[in-house]
Amino acid sequence: MEEEAKQEFTKDGSVDLRGRPAVAARTGRWKACSFLVGYEAFERMAFYGVASNLVVYLTTELREETVSSVRNVNNWTGSVWMTPIAGAYVADAFLGRFWTFTFSSLLYLAGMVLTTLSVSLKALHPRCTPDGGCALATRSQVTFFYAALYTMAIGAGGTKPNISTFGADQFDDFDARESKTKASFFNWWMFSSFTGGLIAVLVLVYVQENVGWGVGYTIPTVGLALSLLLFYVGTPFYRHKPVRKDTAAGPARLVGRVFRAAFANRRRQLLVHDDVTELHEHDAAWYAAAGTKRRLHHTRAYRFLDKAALAGTPAEACTVTEVEEVKLITGMILVWLTTLVPCTIWAQVNTLFVKQGTTLDRAVGGVRIPAASLGSFITISMLLSIPVYDRVLVPLARRRTGDPRGITLLQRLGVGCALQVAAVACAYLVELRRMRVIRDTAATATHDTVPMSIFWMLPQYVLIGVGDVFSSVGILEFFYEQSPQGMQSLGTTFFTSGLGVGNFLNSLLVTVVDRVTRGGGGGGEGKSWIGDNLNDSHLDYYYVFLLLLAVLNLAVFVWVATRYEYKEEYLSDDGVVGAGSRETEMAGGKGKVERSKVIDAPLMVEMEGMRAV
């Protein structure tokens, strides 16, 4: 008992699995995260083992048309990224991250097992001859295959938004040393994620096309099962964040309450917009006693919402912190909208880029590489770019800007969007050359190989990879950090849902473009831009369309980013950082509160760092 009394507990209110205060020395930090990082590598290998080559399986094994296969891949991938909304809500409001992940991961594994059976058992997939001819899939075979895929999608809903945030929970924001170490967590989380994805596109895709689909799916399924065992081995070392009772109704109720209060007080005037004395707010002692919520500093954004906190009827009025939480959600939604087009562009990687690559010369040293394997250069580019960004660009930029992370998160996202514009422009130029070679060699038949190396597509993959170091990697941290306290899982779904909507949007665009151009809208030729025979289509027109969307979206993003106000949190007198900020200014003498001036998202505390997908 005396020894337990001397133990130092975490300062952020973390508990163990039984709900007892977590002992700082025995739990969390890298001791716990090593198990999570291991899981992530295997899970990414499983996911990309299916997703990277799915369009090829659908067109060659299930004999689907190009547009249908692209649409089905996008719809499934979109579902994988949309279901985390429900998973994050359940975690934040009811079960917590650990138990939500536990139940969902078992469902995810079941989906992988069923998918593996679908491509392995003769009764569950069409029979194919050695020359590549396959019978049409029966309705029951198609139904079983897609049921297995969507079982994975449902399981992913509880794993994707919770595993990375659960990893971040292993570090105490109120401990200076752990707060610094936390910055590196996302670096290695991304590294493990990319490593798993790289193995999938380099090894598994090759095995699927050259050894067999059953073997190519069995390997990641076994790996996923082993990774779950690894995750549960680390259970005694995990820290858990208690579920906040005030979020049980979800952010929707908070948003509705603030907007209703602001509308009810619409006729009342704010005397001075920057004077918070006329606004209702709890004092610092109240937040210190509550422990589950951090007080937010008043900002000038969306001033009409301040009326929800007008004093006079404190029992009914919202607090300044509640209003600021709604402001954060509103601002995040605007940023989220500007990520949809970049996510749509990313959707080309596993669909049209792969189909485009299948038409080119893929022979390398006598080996015919799978078109989907070219996606490995995205991963390789990111893995090479991460250390350069982390160890070179960030320190250089930090000296000029004084910002701990070199440039702000939104500036980083802007650079990523610009690089994606360059990637689409590059894809268009490569497609123009491909079509020129087709005309010169008359390689217009469906199965004709265009005498042009597939490595002409390499620059567009590299640009997307480097761009993701700035954009996709930073989006997760942005939404994690800007989310109100206790809603980080839901904040993470802003990222995952963006990818989901981007895939659905691409599915819609491909379908509409195909129908319009097939009906004669494509230059009066009556030829689809995205036909089954890409050697006799106009994929270049579609890339121009995407390029125009990307340029327009970049302009809108710049407009939104220049008007965004970052989250600011109050700190206690002892200078402990509530969420990892750098600059502080005293609001008064002893007994007062210290305000965190978060110039950017507060996770990166005096350290370079990367984010995780």
For the segment 77-119, what is each residue's pLDDT rounded down to a tens digit?
A: 999 888 888 888 888 778 888 999 999 999 999 999 999 999 9
Strand 360-361 with 450-453, pairing: parallel
Interatomic CA distance for residues 212 and 456, integer angstroms? 28
Q: Is the distance from CB of 419 to CB of 470 less than 8 angstroms?
A: yes
For 100, phi then psi, to 5°, come to: -65, -45
Domains of the chain: 9-246 (1.20.1250.20), 249-326 (no CATH), 327-569 (1.20.1250.20)
Strand locations in 335-409, DSSP E? 360-361, 363-364, 367-368
List pLDDT tens digits, range 385-422. 888 888 898 889 888 888 777 888 899 999 999 999 99
209: its two tokens? 């096309």
Question: If you search the block for the tokens 């929800």, which residue do you land on?
Answer: 308
> Which residues make Cβ contacts (< 8 Å) with residue 210, sequence separation at least 6?
none
Digit-coded pLDDT (tens) for 343-363 = 999 888 888 898 889 889 998
> Is residue 118 classed as helix, strand or coil in its secondary structure?
helix
Average pLDDT of every residue of the chain:
81
CA nearest to 375, candidates 46, 53, 41, 43: 53
- Sign of the CA dihedral running 177, 183, 189, 195: negative
Q: What distance in Å separates the CA atoms of residue 389 and residue 122, rounded to the nearest whole number?
A: 49
Confidence of residue 153 (pLDDT cuts 50, 70, 90): very high
| Model pLDDT for residues 22-41, shown as the tens digit of each residue | 888 888 888 888 888 888 88
Burial class (CB in 10 A: 0-12, 13-18, 19+), 391: exposed
Task: Decide: pTM greater than 0.75.
Answer: no
Which SS3 state, helix, strand or coil, does residue 451 take? strand
